[in-house]
């Protein structure tokens, strides 16, 4: 098939225009650069309210999905943070906390989603539902995801939320929509996943204990650092 000069010219304009548009719509500015770098090991207190650190207790940590080859593990270690701790309330109750932070919303941070990492660690997800959680009077409630997971005789209820930029995402689809929203503004959002879990209690009791832990934790975080945990609600 032969093309006349006009067709060739129009095709060239479309190709060049598409390349320019793609370049313009590609986000270039990291949201993480607009704020000071934080050390989550220092921001998250080792004791607050009635809660004290229990060094011997460690939460379930993310496992890479089978067949996934991470191209730059060294870079991921430098540019992301992970805090995994256990806390006791002094009354025989224990809560495990995991905070995973990434300056870029990428595969590594998405892999921290509990449905993925618990399954990769041999757990079954027995139940999953959404919940609204009031962490402070007068503040917009947080959107949480609740899970009940089990591995052999270990029953472990889980509550978590994921911050993407200044928003809270309740699932993978919403995360994609939020990333697209920032991308159209030329921004690459940072993000954090905050997860708490308990063992030795029934799900209903566990979720009540986890709610108290989250309230106490967020109340102990300096006001100017809350954005890194809950974004900018409302």
**Phi and psi, residue 137, nearest 5°:** -60, 130
* pLDDT the model gives residue 84: 92
In percent, how much of the chain has pLDDT > 70? Answer: 72
Weakest mean pLDDT among 20-24, 90-94, 118-122, 193-197: 20-24
| Confidence check: pLDDT of 1 > 80 | no
Would you state the structure tokens that stand for residue 226, as one six-digit string? 């809350």
Band the pLDDT of 67: cuts 50, 70, 90: very low
Weakest mean pLDDT among 71-75, 139-143, 169-173: 71-75
For 134-163, b/e burial (b = at least 16 CB within 10 A) is ebeeeeeebbbbbbbbbeeeebbbbbbbbb
Weakest mean pLDDT among 20-24, 86-90, 110-114, 148-152: 20-24
Query: How far apart, in Å, are the Cα atoms of 207 and each of 52, 155, 181, 199?
Result: 19, 13, 32, 11
| Burial of 20 (C-beta count, 10 Å sphere; 0-12/13-18/19+) | exposed
| Confidence check: pLDDT of 234 > 60 | no
* pLDDT the model gives residue 189: 86
**Residue pair 110/201 in contact by the 8 Å Cβ criterion:** no
Could you read off the pLDDT of 178-218 as tens digits, one per residue?
888 888 888 888 888 999 999 989 999 999 999 999 999 99
Mean pLDDT over the full length of the chain: 79
**Residue pair 48/104 in contact by the 8 Å Cβ criterion:** no
Better pLDDT: 54 or 67: 54
Which H or E run contains 126?
strand 124-133
Query: How far apart, in Å, are the Cα atoms of 179 and each of 18, 27, 104, 167?
Result: 21, 10, 10, 10
Residue 65 per-residue DSSP state: P
| Confidence check: pLDDT of 72 > 60 | no
Nearest CA-CA partner of 110 in 100, 118, 120: 100
Weakest mean pLDDT among 45-59, 66-80, 156-170: 66-80
Angle at CA of residue 35, ends 30 and 41, nearest 5°: 105
Identify the three-state secondary structure at position 156.
strand
> Per the confidence metrics, is the pTM higher than 0.85?
no
What is the C-alpha separation between 62 and 114, in angstroms, rounded? 8
Nearest CA-CA partner of 164 in 220, 228, 215, 119: 228
Band the pLDDT of 73: cuts 50, 70, 90: very low
């Amino acid at each position: 098939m032969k093309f006349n000069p006009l067709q060739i010219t129009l095709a060239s304009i479309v190709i060049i225009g598409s390349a320019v548009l793609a370049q313009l719509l590609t986000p270039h500015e990291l949201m993480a650069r607009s704020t000071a770098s934080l050390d989550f090991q220092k921001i998250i207190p080792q004791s607050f309210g009635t809660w004290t650190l229990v060094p011997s207790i460690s939460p379930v940590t993310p496992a890479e999905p089978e067949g996934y080859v991470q191209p730059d593990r060294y870079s991921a270690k430098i540019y992301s943070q992970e805090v995994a701790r256990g806390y006791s309330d002094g009354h025989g109750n224990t809560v495990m906390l995991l905070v995973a932070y990434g300056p870029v919303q990428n595969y590594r941070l998405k892999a921290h989603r509990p449905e993925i990492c618990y399954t990769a660690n041999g757990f079954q997800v027995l139940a999953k539902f959404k919940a609204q959680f009031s962490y402070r009077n007068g503040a917009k409630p947080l959107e949480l995801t609740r899970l009940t997971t089990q591995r052999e005789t270990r029953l472990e209820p889980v509550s978590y939320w994921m911050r993407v930029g200044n928003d809270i995402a309740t699932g993978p689809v919403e995360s994609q929509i939020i990333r697209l929203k920032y991308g159209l503004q030329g921004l690459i959002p940072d993000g954090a996943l905050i997860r708490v879990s308990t063992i030795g209690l029934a799900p209903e009791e566990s979720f009540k204990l986890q709610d108290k832990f989250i309230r106490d934790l967020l109340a102990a975080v300096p006001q100017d650092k809350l954005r890194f945990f809950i974004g900018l609600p409302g």
